[in-house]
Structure 1
Amino acid sequence: MSRIVEGRWIEFTRGGDRIRGYLAEPVGEDRLGAIVCAPENLGVTDHRQDETRRLAAEGFVVLSVDLYSRIGGRPPQDFKTAEERRSKAFIAARDEQAVPDCQAALEWLQAYPRVDADKIGALGYCLGGGTILAWAAATSNLACAVVLYALPIIPAAYTPDGRERSRLSLAPKIGCPMQLHFGDADEAIPAEQTRALRSTLEAEAPGPIEFFIYAGARHAYMDSTLERYNKAAAELTFSRFCRFFHLHLG
């Protein structure tokens, strides 16, 4: 049964920086499992806040991390083309910065009275999905992780040093249970990269892997504010990852 939730902005520290996050939690005092969410390259938009509350209503404390906290809470706006926008957004939320930010969010949740510190998972969309892949390979604190349409190979134009980066090599380091969701009509991710990520994770990841590919679903098919929204795939994805989180965080 869906629960009544409250949402608010909070701040936590990472090194000398103050990082924002949008926190949503069910009304009550019971201890719950928690989820750190890494958003897509648009940041913690109104839609992402809505989705944070929707997931919290399933019975979790959910913290969506503003990966652009240091630059005003939005990805860079000084772009002339859509490709330049994506490039600057990815570089501004590169793994070297975003992964420690997510770890700091987890540590904030571990100290939060409502949260069972041993039951914290992760969820990432698009850019944030890649962040979660990298983070899951770098931490032992996650109880589980869900990745949605992450780039298996980051193009050179999206990296600080101008060099392509493959996330396939992360597979042997991912020990927590992981569930992944992709569309087979994704314009941003080549199908062969999706297949390579699936086969590599299933062969090399120490933890259990669930991998779903949705027929006819395009990139960002979960976002109901976009014309690419695929209602059937989105609803099935949401139900699957809610069950997954209840299994590992309940």
Structure 2
Amino acid sequence: MKIVVIGGTGLIGSKLVAKLGEHGHEAVPAAPSTGVNTLTGEGLAQVLEGADVVIDVANSPSFEEKAVMEFFKTSTGNVLKAEAEAGVRHHVGISIVGTERLPENGYFRAKIAQEELIKASGIPYSLVHATQFMEFVAAIADEGTWDDGKVHIAPVAWQPIAADDVAAILARTAIGAPLNTRIDIAGPDEYRMDEFFRKALAARGDTREVVTDEHARYFGSELTERSLVPIGEATLGELHYDAWYAAQAK
């Protein structure tokens, strides 16, 4: 099976290409470095020739509200148009658990707009909503650091997932029949977000104080108890945070 991975050289995309290749599929990474530009459409027709499935894990280079909306609308629109012309039979997209619960967040709104394009395309699809990646713990702590040098984190539910698990679930989804709906995926353990960051930063030797702050914002959005975790059924990854972090430190 030929599977094209849009954003195939990034964190998730590179893992996807490797996993799919290990299982005998023709996994083709599509990114500017491989001659494919989804914003201009350059190289799309060529890379999608003969493709059975497309997995789109491309991300915007800018998180500025207008830029991220433009990226996902333009990139996804071009990809879907090229897929229709190439006869692609399954489109797999990745999004974020809780997008619909934080509509004031510009990045989440852009992901919702992307999903609407996918649903309206007429191409059979599967959407995978993931919780935050374990790989982003340091960046999230930096985002939550105030001028006082302390990390302000809300005491809400938190269930991070490892990128390896995300890639494995995306790969399984891609080679299966289109779901024409979404699934939620998360790590195997649920934590209190503030307690998690307190322990995670200490394990990294990061001496910043983690302050429990119910009004702390997550990339501009104030959180409720279950803003960032699945509500209802979810597919869980296998990698626990402590084991994952220990493996990264080797």
> How does the TM-score come out when normalised to structure 2?
0.36
Between structure 1 and structure 2, the one with the greater Rg is 2
Structure with the larger strand share:
1
